[in-house]
Amino acid sequence: MTVNAFSPFGRGANAPLAGLTILQIVPPLSAGGDERSTLAVAAALIEAGARALVASDPGELASEVQALGGLHLPFPASNTNPLAMTLNVRRLARILESERVDLVHARSRGAAWVALGACRKPKRALVTTFPGEGSGSSPRTSFESAVADGDRAIASSHYAADRAAEIFPAAATRLRIVRPGLDLAKLAPDAVSRQRVAKVREGWGAAPHERVVLAPARLAPARGQKLVIEAAALIKARGLEDVRFVLAGDAAKPAFARELDALAAERGVKPIVVRVGAPTDRPAAFIAAGAVVFPASEAEGVTRTTLEAAAMGALVVASDVGTAGEIVAAPPLFPVEERSGWL
């Protein structure tokens, strides 16, 4: 099968998946689900002539699936209560039978456990997805190990695949790496107008002569915002006055946002450190910044936003954790002339 980036499953009646019914189970984003990938796969399945079903909690995802031409099935995918999950196995088994599902793709640990039980008797094919940051520790229960028990198991990076193979050695032969996709049409620098860039900089309060260091991530200790403030203090102490530091993200806990404000005041950099909400126009934000930084202290801090910034050609500076080394080309893994950022 020839793989096309825009039609990964092929097109028309001769496509390998044409005529099959594929069900994806995904919890909401707040519970660890990857809704954008789910929608992208659903669109590719429909283009290939397959029937695309998505089972998830009621919400915005339902209308988006329907708009693509897929079918949304209300399903409590985020519920991890043991009794509720046991009932969900029966509920999912009924769905598999009534909708004549050929293959199930479970996109979380809980969904994998439910799908494993529901697929066992009717012998439906099951694909599972490992968490993007890789599995943290050896499984203690069947709930934690179910993500490795699919007929195929997907990891989004070499980092996640290596972690999964280390913890689940029996799954190594069934493990496949499938990189997350990006909508390059939305990430084309030439498509971003000067007006969009100017609007973003205006929101940051950045003067025309100021260079911006942008940290676009949810405000949380592991995401490294305190390190940005410490860096701002060091740069100011060296006499560099035309740099503005923008912490762009919503706070997981309001108390941590107050800690950041207090640290900026303590280090004497409050006038040059701006704290704003998550950027609504990320492509324009990446162009408006002189550097985009991801100073995460844990693997989960390397998110899709890191990929998007790199795809936009932004100067990316990232902590060497998780998948950062697969996103940013930097020595010693890459020649100096191929450098795309710093680790």
Nearest-5° Cα angle at 173, 169 to 151: 100
Beta strand 211-216 with 291-294 is: parallel
| In the block, residue with structure tokens 């100073």 | 295
Q: Return the HEC string of 23-49.
A: EEECCCHHHCCCHHHHHHHHHHHHHCC
Q: What is the tens place of the pLDDT at every residue in 221-259?
A: 999 999 999 999 999 999 988 999 999 999 989 999 999
Tokens describing residue 271: 């006038």
Give the three-state DSSP class for 276.
Answer: strand
Helix, strand, coil shares, percent, the chain, to 5: 45, 15, 40
Confidence at residue 286, expressed as pLDDT on a 0 to 100 scale: 96
Which pLDDT score is estimated for 196? 95
Low-confidence ranges of the chain (pLDDT < 50): 1-3
pLDDT digits (tens, 9 = 90+) for 101-137: 999 999 988 899 999 999 988 889 999 998 765 555 5
Residue 204 pairs in a beta bridge with: none
Closest C-alpha to 291, from 341, 227, 238: 341
Q: What's the pLDDT at 2?
A: 40
- Give the H or E element holding residue 245: strand 243-248
Q: Considering only the top CATH level, what class is 21-177?
A: alpha beta
Determine phi and psi for 275, rounding to 5 degrees.
Answer: -115, 120
Instruction: Give me Rg for the CA atoms of the chain.
Output: 22
Identify the pLDDT of residue 142: 65
pLDDT (tens digit, 9 = 90+) per residue, 79-105?
A: 888 898 999 999 999 999 999 999 999
| DSSP H helices in 212-303 | 225-237, 254-266, 282-288
- Delimiting residues of CATH 3.40.50.2000 domain(s) in the chain: 21-177, 189-342
Does 3.10.150.10 match the CATH number of domain 189-342? no
